[in-house]
Amino acid sequence: MISSKITGTGTFIPSIIKENKDFLDKDFLNEDGTSFSTDNDEIIEKFKAITGIAERRYAKPEFNTSDLAFFAAQKAIEDANINKEDLSYIIVAHNFGDVNAGSNQTDLLPSLATRVKHKLGIENPNCVAYDILFGCPGWVEATIQAHAFIKAGMATKCLVIGAETLSRVVDESDRDSMIFSDGAGACILEATEEVGSGVLSHATQTYAKDEAFYLHYGESFNKTKEDDVRYIKMLGRKIYEFALVNVPIAMKVALDKSGVSIDEVKKVFIHQANEKMDEAIIKRFFRLFKKKVPEGVMPMSIYKLGNSSVATVPTLLDLVLKGQIENQEVNKGDVVIFTSVGAGMNLNAIVYRF
């Protein structure tokens, strides 16, 4: 039976480092435009304690999201040692398209996947390039789609990318702006007949009745601004509560479908959104099986890289596989889970054996 496996990974981590202290001079405001009663030192200290973020990365002004995606794609193709002309699909997950530095206008024409294919110089017209808008779970969902294409015999090799430049769509008056960052991660997914390896199972859900606008575009908290610009906004407490309840359940659904025991799960590559939230999700997941969280099961990169949305999971995977996160490794035969939650509200999980 044909399945799919990851044969190469690549990431692009922007070079501009934005530390927490760089936000000390910001004029953070409440949603109604009023000032906080606490000073920025205290705001930033509480932010660090909750999210785990000490610094984040921003892209250079000359680079857009499609550039970051291209850089990560090059590395993944090289790592997989494949001919780029043999790619069946290029799927790029993002949320805002290309946003020029100093602008807040999104550019999606042509698609980012088409731009990446153009930058790669691929001539094969049968290499289909398209984008997926699925919030932060976009890379995981794009991987599920690529896996489906391969299982259906419609593809043999797929390039799956998650890329974003969130620093260009944040409201500087909103303290949540400290969460977001830029980056890109990519993988090559190939067909395999190796029994019991690669993608074993997956689960995806969308909650849109009451939860659809937990993440949305909204006005600046600075009411003196007269422009009609919109920025990324989120209802943090609602997202936190939603994720804690629903993500562990989706992970369990995926694991139950795989037939793999919880005792075999060596790593959980979870979307790097909020350290405390991620820790609580993992704890609740293992509690569903009446198990304690194994030491080292949850690699983290958020403290240095922040939340780069669709890029966090593939970036984290690449860093672990390349030995760039201390005391973290993946070995042949290890079972891992990829999982994410975000705008939509969407959430998903993949059970995967290396």
Tens digits of per-residue pLDDT, 301-311?
999 999 999 99
Tokens 């035969």 map to which residue?
333
Peptide bond into 345 cis (omega under 30): yes
> How does pLDDT run across 83-126, given as a tens digit for each residue?
999 999 999 999 999 999 888 788 999 999 999 999 999 999 99
Q: Is the pLDDT confidence value at 187 over 70?
A: yes
Cβ-based neighbour number of residue 207 at 10 Å: 15
Q: Is the pLDDT confidence value at 127 over 70?
A: yes
Peptide bond into 110 cis (omega under 30): yes
> How does pLDDT run across 274-312, given as a tens digit for each residue?
999 999 999 999 999 999 999 999 999 999 999 999 999
Task: Provide the pLDDT for residue 68.
Answer: 98
For residue 313, report the phi and psi dihedrals to the nearest 5 degrees: -70, -50
> How does pLDDT run across 228-237, given as a tens digit for each residue?
788 899 998 9
Provide mean pLDDT across the span 128-157: 96
Read off the tokens for 254: 């995926």
Domains of the chain and CATH, by start: 3-195 (3.40.47.10), 199-353 (3.40.47.10)
Cβ-based neighbour number of residue 316 at 10 Å: 26
Q: Is the pLDDT confidence value at 137 over 70?
A: yes
- Measured distance CA(233)–CA(222) in Å, rounded: 13
Task: Provide the pLDDT for residue 142.
Answer: 98
Q: Among residues 156, 163, 214, 215, which one has the least CA distance to residue 186?
A: 163
- Measured distance CA(93)–CA(112) in Å, rounded: 9
Task: Provide the pLDDT for residue 193.
Answer: 86
Read off the tokens for 49: 């304690």
Task: Provide the pLDDT for residue 226.
Answer: 67
- Measured distance CA(6)–CA(158) in Å, rounded: 10
Q: Are 184 and 159 in contact (CB under 8 A)?
A: no
Higher pLDDT: 105 or 70? It is 70
Work out the mean pLDDT of the chain and round it to a whole number: 94
Task: Provide the pLDDT for residue 38.
Answer: 86
Q: Is the pLDDT confidence value at 198 over 70?
A: yes
Q: Which amino acid is at 37?
A: S
Higher pLDDT: 135 or 27? It is 135
Supply the angle between the helices 138-151 and 312-321 in degrees, to the nearest 10: 70
Q: Among residues 323, 319, 315, which one has the least CA distance to residue 340?
A: 315
CA dist 233 to 31, 93, 158, 214, Å?
A: 10, 19, 33, 8
